Chain A
């Protein structure tokens, strides 16, 4: 899957997890840009991503995630392995 495809999937997951109608995301998007993205929804986002891509994150990886781009890169690395 290309990073553009991952980004698109991710956007749909975020819309679902944050319970919003629509969402504009770019690799530069961070929690500060999205009102519904707080520490609690971050946990649900991570778990939804794990399910969708059949991968598992380490705690240290979850803590290090700062932007949508970080998440895309991590998904790419994990699904390529």
Chain B
């Protein structure tokens, strides 16, 4: 199906067979998306393209035999997100603001969730800002570990990050927590399909109700979760107590990112820093990536989605 990809794409994708396969599956159901994808791919650095291919390799294992459905679900998800964008720009707020609303409208609707989760999985390959923070995670979070580490992830979803943490020769123990048993079952199935070799302990935990942590961790990851919480500072406060004294936490949170189940709006990097530092953490590095690699200043001004990836330690 190589003829569906336009020329600039073909060149970039030459050494990236799995990325190419994911893109071809999407263009087969959504040919008009080619220009968007070309722009998204053209903006990536070589390191980002390598991260793209790593994600695509995992994604293909997860979607094997199901490619056309997943591609159609990606298109459907983008349509839902466009509806939320319209509301967000009209009203300057997210449509829902409580967990109960998100539960009633999104989480409890299994058919809706199945499509949405498939759609979001492909964004790990297709969206510039998602790949960019993933590349940060691989190379400057996991890649910066020099000692054996105990890993905790909250809200693992598709499991890609736990999978790569497990693949690191330095990971000593791996845990993932999620409030949803359904989501954890999917993470377990995904880890299985990707062929994770180390044991990963999966536990049903509501991060907002977690008491005292029994264990301490060297590396804690919370990616695309804070915006789903009514009180994100409470989650961060708990996680701070779960860090070893010299442990690090990686937070990935999108700004101005309307989505059916996003209830906590962050609009600027300063708000993120204030949130994180307000609980006794110190931000070491923050990287900001706008949708489609748009210029940061203009993206923030126009309330276009920007992903914020940061590493923090106990202050």
Contact = CB atoms under 8 A, between A and B. Distances in A.
A43 B35 contact: no
5 contacts: A19-B302, A40-B291, A40-B292, A44-B304, A59-B86
Interface string B77-111: 01000110110011000000000000000000000
A59 B87 CA distance: 11
Contacts of B82: 39-40, 43
Given A17-B302, A38-B36, A43 B292 contact: no
Interface of A: 17, 19, 38-40, 43-44, 46-47, 50, 59, 62
A19 B90 CA distance: 19
Contacts of A40: 82, 85, 291-292, 304
B298 interface: yes
A47 B302 CA distance: 12
B42 to A, nearest CB: 12
Contacts of A17: 302
Contact of B292 (A38, A46, A59, A62): A38
Nearest to B83: A59
Nearest to B92: A47
B86 A46 contact: yes
A59 B90 CA distance: 13
A53 B292 CA distance: 29
A23 to B, nearest CB: 15
Contacts of B90: 47, 50
Interface in B261-315: 291-292, 295, 298, 302, 304
Interface of B: 35-36, 39, 78, 82-83, 85-86, 89-90, 291-292, 295, 298, 302, 304
Nearest to B294: A19
Task: Tell me what chain B mostly uses at the interface: helix, strand, loop, or mixed.
Answer: helix
Nearest to A36: B294
A62 B86 contact: yes
B302 A44 contact: yes
Contacts of B295: 19
Nearest to B299: A19
A19 B298 contact: yes
A19 B83 CA distance: 22
Given A40-B291, A43-B86, 5 more contacts: A17-B302, A38-B36, A40-B82, A43-B82, A47-B90
A77 B292 CA distance: 34
Contacts of B302: 17, 19, 44
B194 to A, nearest CB: 31
A43 B85 contact: yes
Contacts of A62: 86
Given A17-B302, A19-B298, A44-B302, A38 B89 contact: no
Contacts of B89: 43-44, 47
A5 to B, nearest CB: 24
A62 to B, nearest CB: 7
Closest 9 CB pairs of A and B: A47-B89, A43-B85, A19-B298, A43-B86, A47-B90, A44-B89, A38-B36, A43-B89, A43-B82
Contacts of A43: 82, 85-86, 89
A60 to B, nearest CB: 12
A19 B304 CA distance: 12
A45 to B, nearest CB: 10
A62 B82 CA distance: 11
B86 A47 contact: yes
Contacts of A19: 295, 298, 302
B36 A39 contact: yes
